[in-house]
Amino acid sequence: MPATEFDAIVLGAGAAGMMCAAVAGQRGRRVLLLDHADQVGKKILISGGGRCNFTNIHTAPDRFLSANPHFAKSALARYTPADFIALVERYGIAYHEKTLGQLFCDGSAKQIVAMLLDECAKGGVDVRCGQPVGAVEHGDGRFRVRFGSADFAAPNLVIATGGPSIPKMGASGFAYDLARQFGLKVVEPRPALVPLTLGGDDVLFRELSGVATPVEARAGKAAFREAALFTHKGLSGPAILQISSYWRHGEPLAIDFQPDAAPGWLLAAKRDRPRATLRAALGAILPDRLAETLADRIALPGELAAQTDRNLADAEARLRRWSFRPNGTEGFAKAEVTAGGISTAGLSSQTMMAKSVANLYAVGEAVDVTGWLGGYNFQWAWASGVAAGKVI
């Protein structure tokens, strides 16, 4: 059967794919957007607790991880949070800043998906879902894609099928297989923005499941000051999710349990409340159960007055740099994103086109660019999708 012809085929109708298809379609290109899921934009729908944290006003290249930290600069500079906010405002979607520059819909993430579908419709994009993408072939300057039992062909192909985080939502490693098929390299994918698990001695901290506290979490040079949450498997909460993207298996993680306390606060407590125990002093700044567990671990029994200044200084230093050695993560099943992916070394940072295969593009999470928690990953999806959409 002859293949139906388009100017461009975009594989994956998620954030990056829909944006890319809409931009290309509105330039007058005939675009086909394909997805194996029964519905477009499933991750957008569940994002931000159903309200979609669609961008971050503090977007800057240093908030993204990649083997090449410069790669994201070009696309991010050419399609900014202000550009996406302008689009959201054109659609009359109400939004608010929750915290740390994170913008969420007041209503529902469904509004963002409806907006992107409308943008696709304005560009005459042919959107098709719910069939498996089969063989992808390349020859005579055209890409040929099998979708269900139909064949489509186009001179441009965009890989926008995301990464393997949350497989039960239709996420897959398809982007990597396709990239390898065309000779592109893939930086080892790993779960990121993911809860960490504890074993060994640290397993005792699991007893604190449900306790949350502000901390500063550090791994190497990266540090995040936000809430941490103890879980029945280990550690979660925004500070931990953020640091998980920087943490590598086998490495320790340092937690400052008193990020807001003035240096020397424990010695000051000895002067001000000599009769208090360490447990009571900790209880003044930390949740009760955590104070008890940390005081037990530090083991300085009796009143503060009975402790040497040296011991109290050591205790404070330990509380400022409590070292955990996570034994793993909760894996792709719980990871908000995938770090690693299609190597940026083989892509143009201007257009997202493969350097070695003309008119093959990769955008969004499929690429080795991973944002911090808080709307950065969608901003990358929009920006990289637009970069390719403008040239296909």
Applying CB under 6 A, the residues found at the interface with ligand FDA are: 11-17, 35-37, 42-43, 46-48, 52-53, 133, 160-162, 165-166, 170-172, 174, 336-337, 364-366, 375-378, 381
**Closest distance of CB 50 from ligand FDA, Å:** 10
Judged by CB, which is closer to ligand FDA: 293, or 338? 338
Which residue in the shown chain puts its C-beta closest to ligand FDA? 14
Judged by CB, which is closer to ligand FDA: 144, or 297? 144
Judged by CB, which is closer to ligand FDA: 15, or 315? 15
Judged by CB, which is closer to ligand FDA: 43, or 190? 43
**Closest distance of CB 316 from ligand FDA, Å:** 36
Burial class of residue 136, CB neighbours in 10 A (0-12, 13-18, 19+): buried
Tokens 């083991």 correspond to 299
Taking the CA atoms of the chain, what radius of gyration do you get in angstroms? 24
Judged by CB, which is closer to ligand FDA: 171, or 266? 171
Local structure of residue 365 (DSSP, 8 states):
G
Judged by CB, which is closer to ligand FDA: 76, or 298? 76
Judged by CB, which is closer to ligand FDA: 162, or 326? 162
Give the count of beta carbons closer than 10 Å to the beta carbon of residue 82. 11
**Closest distance of CB 315 from ligand FDA, Å:** 38
**Closest distance of CB 377 from ligand FDA, Å:** 3
Residue 232 phi/psi, 5-degree rounding, is -70, -10
**Residue 352 in contact with residue 72, Cβ under 8 Å?**
no
**Residue 228 in contact with residue 217, Cβ under 8 Å?**
yes
Judged by CB, which is closer to ligand FDA: 294, or 352? 352
Tokens 């675009």 correspond to 31
Between the CA of residue 192 and those of 3, 50, 166, 189, what are the distances in Å? 39, 20, 11, 9
**Closest distance of CB 290 from ligand FDA, Å:** 27
**Closest distance of CB 275 from ligand FDA, Å:** 48
**Closest distance of CB 68 from ligand FDA, Å:** 18
Q: Which of 296, 257, 256 is nearest to 279 (CA)?
A: 296
Q: Which of 380, 370, 374 is nearest to 74 (CA)?
A: 380
**Closest distance of CB 319 from ligand FDA, Å:** 32
Inter-residue long-range contacts of 171-177, CB under 8 Å, 24+ positions, other chains counted: 171/43, 171/332, 172/36, 174/11, 174/133, 175/12, 175/341, 175/342, 175/362, 175/366, 176/341, 176/342, 176/366
Local structure of residue 148 (DSSP, 8 states):
T
